[in-house]
Structures are given as C-alpha cells and as structure tokens.
Structure 1
Amino acid sequence: MTTLYSKVLTNVAQGEMLRALSRIDTFILETEGVIYGGNKLFPLSKQTVSALEQLGKNIIYYPSYTRRSRLSYQKKLHDFGITTSVNQIYTPSSMTAEYMRRFHPEIKKVYLVGGVWAAEELKQAGIKVLEVGDFKEHSNESSKLLEKINSDKDVGAVVVSFDEAFTFQKLTLSALLLERPDIMFIVTSLEPYSIVDGKKYPGVSPLIASISKVSGRKPDLVTCRPNPIMFHMLKENYPEIDPHRTCMVGDSITKDLKFANNSGILSMLTLSGITMPQQLEHVLSQNVDFVIHDFSRIYQILN
C-alpha cells in the first residue's frame, strides 16, 4: 500500500511536489472540475496556472464539454483572469471539425444535434451545417421528410454534441438519416453528466443513447476523451512536445486517465470534480501517476 500511496500529492512535502513537477514540461488541463465548476472559479486556480507558467511549463486547455467554442472558452478563462491564446485550447467540437477536415474531406455537409458553438467550429472548417430548421416544412409529414432526407446526398454525417434544446423532432431526423449506411455517426463526447455545485447535469451520452436506440446504430467515432486524437493533433502542432514529459490533469477515471494511457502520457487525477475523495482506494488501483485533492494544492505547496 505504501507504493500506491506514493502517488498521492495531497499531503506531501515541498520536495516531493517539486520532484513530481520536474517530470512534467506540458500540462493538459481539463477545465470543468479542475479549474472551475460551472461559473465558479475554484480557489487559487488562477494562481496555480500562473505559478506553473512562471516555472516555464506549457499549459494546454482541453475542456471535455461541448457547450462552448474555443473563442468562448478563451473569453470565459479571461473573465476568470486567466490569459491564454485560442491555439492553447482544444475542444471536442474543434477536434471534430479538424478530424473531418483532415480525414473525411469528402464530407461537405452534416446534420448537427448541438448548440451554436459546435456549429461555429464546423462552419469554420468549411463544413455546411444542417439543423432542424432546414427540415421544418416537412416536420409533420413523415413521407415528405424521408424523401427530403434521402434526396440530399451531400449529407455525410450526423454529428451529436451537447444540446440543451434536444427534441423529439431532432431525434426523428437523426434516426432517419442514420438509416442510410453512407452517413457516419460522429459524437463529440460520451459524457453522461457533469457535476455543477454538487448536482448532476446531463451530458451528451443521454442524447446518443436515444438516437442509437431508435436508429439501431452505435457511434462510428467519438472524437473526445478517451480517444487520443487530441494528443496526436497537439503533437502535429507542437512537435517538440515530449509525451513522457506531458501530463493530463483531469477529474475523471473513465475519460482523463484512459485518455492519458491511450496517449502514452502521464496522468494526474484531481478529487475536485466527478471523482470524489471517498473513492481514493479505488483511484489508487487505477493506472494513474499522481493523485491530488485539487489543482490549487500545487500552488499551496510551491508557496
């Protein structure tokens, strides 16, 4: 058990924390559950980011939620007093758009279940986005609707992101489109829920489940964690990054730890989000390099 508990950085001496930090040049940070919860900045998060930057560490932001575009996340961080460039932010929607641009350039049009932020990222990649309003005139006539869907051969994918306005009509359109085997089923996340102020807030997974149930299809691709697509893109943009000296800091065992393992990088799990402190025994049995109560512990020990 001593070996297991050597992973825990919650109550450590300064020297131990410095030894851990000396192994890391690049930090990939989840935002929700690590830096903030909902619209509330966690104590000392801003100071922790600043302290790491002063140590010469590279900071990359990798939010798992699809409610915002990179520009919107940049503004939110800025409002919290954390300055960063758009190039340091990777979102599920931006990765979905980039993946399609690189690997499926033949797809020029998609049907999107998602908010304006997801649509913004796809459009910036040159992809035409169809939404429920494009089929509105056929919404009450299923035969005409099906004819309209089958006649539009340019639609190459159904993309499912977070959508607070998910409706029966959107479910119907998605399922009808996915009856066509030539259309891909792409989802940005498998997140069942997020924790905001201690409460569960539904994620993308419930939407995917309903579409899969009706269409009889499972997603062809999940672009967010634990898929390592993001790290491959990061390496292309910053070839100098060393995987052995890169660490994913997140609050989820199933997302963040698996992403780190799949990417061949270090992992640091915080107990300030989805994973609770009372789960520590279970956490320590996972393939995790470091465990910390919350992100601010780094700043507290350095100071």
Structure 2
Amino acid sequence: MAGAFAFKGCQKIRGAQIRILLEAKDFFLFDCDGVIWHGENAITGAAKVVNALIRRGKNVVFVTNNSTRPRENYVNKFTRLGFTDVMLDQIFSSSYCSALYLRDVVKVRGQVFVIGCEGLRVELLEAGIPCVEEADDPDATIYNCALAPDVKAVLVGHDDKLTFLKLAKASCYLRDPECLFLATDNDPWHPLSGGRILPGSGSLTAALEVASGRKATVIGKPSRFMFECISSQFSGVDPAQCLMVGDRLETDMLFGSNCGLDTMLTLTGVSQIEEAQEYRSSDLTTNHSYVPDYVVDTIADFLPAFEEIEEQNDD
C-alpha cells in the first residue's frame, strides 16, 4: 500500500480514495452523535454503511462519550434505526468504560458517588460497583445532610438533574486525598436544535475541579483508555489498521491522534473543515493533533466506494 495515502492531511476524499481506505483498514471506530445519528434520526445512508462494513468482515465499534444510557439501550436504538447487525460487544460508551476502569484498573473497594444520569449508575451496578444511594430530604442542605461512609471515588458524567447539594457533597468527599476523582468525559457542550446548546460533562467537572482544587482523570475520548478497553476485548487490534470517524476535532480527532489511529472528520456534526484548516495552519504544534487525516461530507460518502469494490469483485 506504499503511496496509497498520499492524500492524507485534512483532505476531503471521495470515490477511489475512500475505496483504497476501506480496503486497507480492518477496524473502524465510529462516534455516534453527529456521525451515525442526530437524536432519533439516523444520518442518511449510515445504516447501509455500518451494515456493509460488518458483512464484509470488518471490525466495527462505536465509541461515544454519551454516558446517559446503558449499552443495552444503545443496541435497542441501533436496531430501531435500521442498524441490524450491531451487537452489545461493539459498543464502548464512557459509562461502560468508567465501570471497567473502576472495576479492573483501580479495583475500587468502597462506594462511588455519582454525578450523572441513571444509565451511568446502571453500568456501574452491572459491573458490581456499589453506588451511594441518594435519599436526601427535599429541604436538605450541605449543613445537615448525611454523608455516606466509605466513598472511594467521585465519578462525574452528564447530569440533567444536577443540584448544588450534589456538587457540595462531591466536594466534601474529594477532601479525602484517597478518594478518586473521575470524569466520564470532558465534552464542554452539545448542540441542540434551534441553535441552543446543552452543557456537557466537562462543564460539571470543571465546577468540581475548582471547588476541590483537584483535576479529574478523564475516562472517555480523547483519553487513550477507551482504546485500551477495545484492545482488551478484541484480539490483535493494530492501531495502523484502524480508522477513527468522528465529528468533533477536540474530542474524536484528538482521541485518534493520541491512540495512533488514522482519523476522519465527517461534516454532519459539530466541527467543520474551516476549523480543521485553522488548526492545521496554527504555529502551535499541539493544535496539529486536532487535524483529521481525511474529511468527508457524511459517512454516506462510503457507499459509492462499496459499489466500486463490488464491481471489481464481479470482474
């Protein structure tokens, strides 16, 4: 394949270039929001692309920083949106990887205080990790509420029911230097329809970092740990044979760069090619890690490449 990738470097590719890439790579990592779907609507052609990759024997996994739902819910959503071949073991969410980190890496011995949605707690409990039960009186304050004993970790994820009391409790637990401080991800915000945004886990983590004077260990993208989870569950994963496809430069492209993967930006989500070009032109070499190797308008651009491969095989 020498010279096959002369078109790398924030280049928009199509047709034969995509076909060469599809034939060369064995492992495809996809972000979900903005790449595979928008809310409850699949990106046009995404299901055909994913199903075709799987049926051609490619390894396909999904790496998402969304910690709000357990993996079983993702399987149901994939099926509902027409992704008929996606299985549970292909899904690596920041909530699932956080549970693996607590269980297998740090081997936490005690309770975990969770700032996050129910899906995050479900993943922890399925991994056998006890979570602090929230049972405060509605009028409770940090002055008179109970603090749980034996809290060995604080884990912050997306929490649409965040309260000042939760933040205050977490700050108290983190005064113990032996208490771990973890974040599912550091996404700052998420786009909503009508130009509105939703604060992400990163904004909640930042508040707690200021309150505690500590820095959280981030589990999700762009941390390498999610790739280590994949490598531990799929034998023979070679970074050189992987392609990371995402929509966010500061998360997905940096994740790929950190893990030694080729990266592809799809323009159906947060980041646009002009931002990538600005990073490429930056005098700061650290900004170059945000630059994708390849750019496509949408992953549906893979479909003509599949047709070319089929025509070649027919010949």
TM-score after normalising by structure 1: 0.89
Matched, 1:156 2:152: yes
Aligned pair 1:272/2:276, yes or no? no
Residue 42 of structure 1: aligned partner: 43
Matching residue of 2:130: 128
Structure 2 counterpart of 1:206, one-letter code: S
Aligned equivalents of 1:184, 1:24: Cα separation in 2: 38
1:259 to 243, 255, 268: 255
State the distance in 2 between where 1:6 and 1:235 align.
26
Between 1:271-280 and 1:24-33, the stretch displaced more is 271-280
Runs of 4+ in 1 over 6 A off after TM superposition: 3-6
Identical-residue share of aligned pairs (%) = 27
**SS at the partner of 2:61?**
strand
CA contact (8 A) 2:12 2:295 kept: yes
Which of residues 209, 226, 240 is equivalent to 1:212? Answer: 209
Q: Which residue of structure 1 aligns with residue 11 of structure 2? A: 8
Residue 247 of structure 1 aligns with an amino acid whose one-letter code is L
Cα 1:298/1:245, change in 2 over 3 Å: same
Farther-moved stretch of structure 1 (196-205 vs 180-189): 196-205
CA contact (8 A) 1:38 1:196 kept: no
Q: Choose the corresponding residue for 2:87, options 85, 88, 108.
A: 85
- Counterpart Cα distance in 1 of 2:130 and 2:270: 35
What's the counterpart of residue 161 of structure 2? 165
**Contact 1:177–1:183, Cα closer than 8 Å, also in 2:** yes
Counterpart secondary structure, 1:129: coil
Larger mean Cα displacement after TM superposition, 224-233 or 207-216: 207-216
Structure 2 alignment gaps of length 5 or more: 1-5, 282-287, 308-315
In structure 2, how many angstroms separate the alpha carbons of the residues matched to 1:103 and 1:50?
Answer: 33
Letter in 2 for 1:207: L
Give, in angstroms, the shift of residue 301 of structure 1: 4.2
d(CA) in 2 for partners of 1:6 and 1:67? 34
Instruction: Report if aligned partners of 1:32, 1:38 keep a CA contact under 8 Å in 2.
Output: yes
Match of 2:118 in 1: 116
Instruction: Tell me the distance in 2 between the aligned counterparts of 1:215 and 1:296.
Output: 45
CA distance in 2, matches of 1:252, 1:296: 18
**Matched residues in 1 for 2:48 and 2:59: separation?**
15
The separation in 2 between residues aligned to 1:241 and 1:277, in whole angstroms, is 29
State the AA in 1 paired with 2:301.
Answer: R
Two-structure CA RMSD over aligned residues (Å): 2.1
Corresponding residue of 1:187:
183
CA distance in 1 between partners of 2:166 and 2:151 (Å): 15
Could you report, residue by residue, the CA deviation over 1:257-286 in whole angstroms, capped at 9, with x for unpaired residues? 111111122111111111024435236554
Verify: 1:296 aligned to 2:300, yes or no.
Answer: yes
Contact 2:273 2:295 in 1 (8 A): no
Distance 1:111 1:280 in 2: 38
Report if aligned partners of 1:189, 1:205 keep a CA contact under 8 Å in 2. yes
Q: Which residue of 2 aligns with 1:32?
A: 33
Does the Cα contact within 8 Å between 1:92 and 1:189 map onto a contact in 2? yes
Residue 73 (structure 1) shift: 0.9
Does the 8 Å CA contact 1:37/1:195 hold for their aligned counterparts?
no
Matched letter for residue 8 of structure 1: Q
Structure 1: runs of 5+ lacking an equivalent: none
Work out the CA distance in 1 between the residues paired with 2:60 and 2:226.
14
